[in-house]
Structure 1
Amino acid sequence: MNDLFNITTEEEFQAACLETFQYQYKNVEVYQKFVDFLGKNPSEVKKIEDIPFLPIEMFKNHQVLDKIFVSAQTDKSTSYFQSSGTTQMLNRSKHYIADFNLYEESIYKSFEKFIGKPEDYIFLGLLPNYSENPHSSLIYMVDFLMKKSAKPENGYFLYNHQELFELLQKLGKEDKKVILFGVSFALLDFLDSITSDFGLRTSDFIVIETGGMKGRKEEMTKDELLKILQKGFGTDKIFSEYSMTELLSQAYSLGNNEYECPHWMRVLIRNAEDPFSYLEDGKTGAINIIDLANRYSCSFIATQDLGRIEKREFENEKFQVLGRIDHSDIRGCSLLVS
């Protein structure tokens, strides 16, 4: 299925989606039951808009996994990602992973497309380390990029603000290529802890925020957050990454809160009042995500996020994430360190 990472045209994407739908209907029991419950005849699915999107909540109570791998699982303790949550949250989403190589290839190719080769960068994280959160898809991603980078300076600094500050000063003077990954509130906490001028002036310093304000700090818009981070870190290169436990692909924003997907991933905007209809460009609605890297779970996910697409183009499609649907669960990166 590595061909999915080499999609270059709209026709190839459409064909891959329809093939994936038929495969997952036959092989993913939960998805098959969902499609049947809707009364959808798979033979009548002729275009992307015909495909049923599985509500993301299904990952909380069901094993969404290809039946070929259900019986073959030998170590269920390490073969899944789990959403962040508090100790009071009994039902947290689990995304069982049949092939970690698919995730790693998706990580690498998306990063390379939007930012550059991981081998060229030093990666620092305002995140827990992998041993603290082995079931976090975000931590797995950053850890994988660190391994590809193999730079001795790579590391996690969630609880060591002063050490991170001093290292950033040193790397800035050496004009090294540095990427700082962090959940939003941790980046703000770091800036609040700095008592002297940040003073890092290098064109090769990038901050990538991964969301995560819900329930942790006073709510602010993404635009407000980006302005604070730009001023605090002294760089316009405040990028954003958008993904979730239930996906194996990432969209990136290189500014202006406008995200782009790799060619094997797509966002559709559904009517929040009618889950089977889609809105025209420029209208705000609920986000549906196609992630073809989810070959062995479900590639068609109906999320609880709100968003908007200004203009749909295969080569230059951008979308915005505008918040959560009212009454949806508190979830996501901000709870990683609860």
Structure 2
Amino acid sequence: MATIDTSSIFSIATETQFVEQALQTFRYQYQNNNVYQRFCNLLKTDVASVDSIAQIPFLPIEFFKNSTILSGAGIPEQTFSSSGTTGSLTSKHAVLDVSLYEHSFRKGFELFYGSVANFCILALLPSYLERSGSSLIYMVDDMIKTSKHPKSGFYLNNLDELALTLQQLEANNTKTMLIGVSFALLDLAEQYNLNLQNTIVMETGGMKGRRKEMIRQELHHTLLQGLHTSHIHSEYGMTELLSQAYSKGKGLFNCPPWMRVLTRDTEDPLSVQPHGKTGGINVIDLANVHSCAFIATQDLGKVYEDKSFEVLGRFDHSDIRGCNLMVL
């Protein structure tokens, strides 16, 4: 069975290097991922002629709910799972080499924010803590341990303690990052009079059925008002990926060099949209070398000339096109 060199993934510095690595990964995954190979074959993909990113098929993210998506052989070191409503199918991401995930989130964070050791990390992620298998909890737990700040830690529903800790850290001018799920950050913003001038507030999305869904602009406006901070940052990641994009404000995300977002036509899932036009979000995550690096998500968004992107919402199931190939 063929192998692939993963050592160059995190040293990508140019567009040419990215494209070369993406094409190499595509060919490897076609040869070594049964589900992806069958998907490409049903699309009648001429693998030998694929010489650009636009020609690579993107696997619908729903496949992670009913198939094990693995490229290569081996026993997974970790299996991450998504949250879901009772009785619904959840996504499962079998990770053969968890060190790739660790390398990806550590280097990605450092590129955007510098060393995590310079921060006190506070995590307000109750819906994730209340279940097992969360890749976000795995990442944030590593950040908390790496920060080594005595106040770093998880907060379940103890908002009083969290608010007091934030006030103490602010009084000491401590560089702090508060990572929280949207509904819990809204609870914090509404119940406490905080003034967070030394704290980066990062929302990870999701009301998880706890509150009515809000568009990002409305959510950020409410958080800015309630927490008295200059910007609301965001993290864009998911169970099926091993890399994250970050926004430092206004909902505009940027990817690390080994990750890329494209958009597809909602009526023609095999086409790539031009810059600035709304479409379904496709993600290339080259750290996902042992599962699938080319994923068609259920998110809607726009990509701009500088490769930044924004997330505008999600497809309704009735809007998803081209997923009749799910019956592999």
TM-score, normalising length: structure 2: 0.92
Give the CA deviation at 1:37.
1.5
- Residues 95-145 of structure 1: CA deviation (Å, up to 9, x unaligned): 000111111111111111111210100111111498754410111111111
1:262 pairs with 256, 261, 266, which one?
256
Give the CA deviation at 1:191.
2.0
Aligned amino acid, residue 18 of structure 2: F
**Conserved? CA contact 1:309–1:320, under 8 Å:** yes
Give the CA deviation at 1:244.
0.5
1:68 is paired with a residue whose SS is: coil
1:63 pairs with 53, 61, 68, which one?
68
**Conserved? CA contact 1:291–1:299, under 8 Å:** yes
Residue-pair matches, total: 314
Give the CA deviation at 1:206.
0.5
Kindly tell me: are residues 129 and 270 of structure 1, through their superposed partners in 2, closer, same or farther at Cα, counting changes over 3 Å? Answer: closer
- Does residue 306 (structure 1) correspond to residue 291 (structure 2)? The answer is no
Aligned amino acid, residue 86 of structure 1: T
Residues 1-338 of structure 1 aligned to structure 2 (within 5 Å): 1-69=6-74, 73=75, 79-89=78-88, 91-128=89-126, 132-194=130-192, 197-200=193-196, 202=197, 204-213=198-207, 215-311=209-305, 313=306, 317-327=307-317
Kindly tell me: are residues 305 and 129 of structure 1, through their superposed partners in 2, closer, same or farther at Cα, counting changes over 3 Å? Answer: closer
Superposition RMSD in Å: 1.7
Match of 2:3 in 1: none
Aligned amino acid, residue 102 of structure 2: E
**Conserved? CA contact 2:195–2:229, under 8 Å:** no
- How far apart, in 1, do the equivalents of 2:200 and 2:318 lie? 32
- How far apart, in 2, do the equivalents of 1:273 and 1:130 lie? 34
- How far apart, in 1, do the equivalents of 2:318 and 2:100 lie? 29
Match of 1:334 in 2: none
- How far apart, in 1, do the equivalents of 2:144 and 2:318 lie? 33
Please say which of residues 131-140 and 108-117 is displaced more in the overlay: 131-140
Identical-pair percentage: 51
Give the CA deviation at 1:67.
3.4
Kindly tell me: are residues 149 and 83 of structure 1, through their superposed partners in 2, closer, same or farther at Cα, counting changes over 3 Å? Answer: same
- Residues 209-239 of structure 1: CA deviation (Å, up to 9, x unaligned): 0000364322322111111111111111310
- How far apart, in 1, do the equivalents of 2:290 and 2:51 lie? 21
- How far apart, in 2, do the equivalents of 1:16 and 1:276 lie? 21
- Residues 245-276 of structure 1: CA deviation (Å, up to 9, x unaligned): 00000000001110000110000110010011
2:103 is paired with a residue whose SS is: helix
**Conserved? CA contact 1:251–1:259, under 8 Å:** yes
- How far apart, in 1, do the equivalents of 2:291 and 2:61 lie? 12
- Residues 158-216 of structure 1: CA deviation (Å, up to 9, x unaligned): 2100000111111111111110100111100122232xx3234x3x3101100003643
Unaligned 5+ segments in structure 2 are: 1-5, 320-328
Kindly tell me: are residues 79 and 214 of structure 1, through their superposed partners in 2, closer, same or farther at Cα, counting changes over 3 Å? Answer: closer
- How far apart, in 1, do the equivalents of 2:94 and 2:279 lie? 28
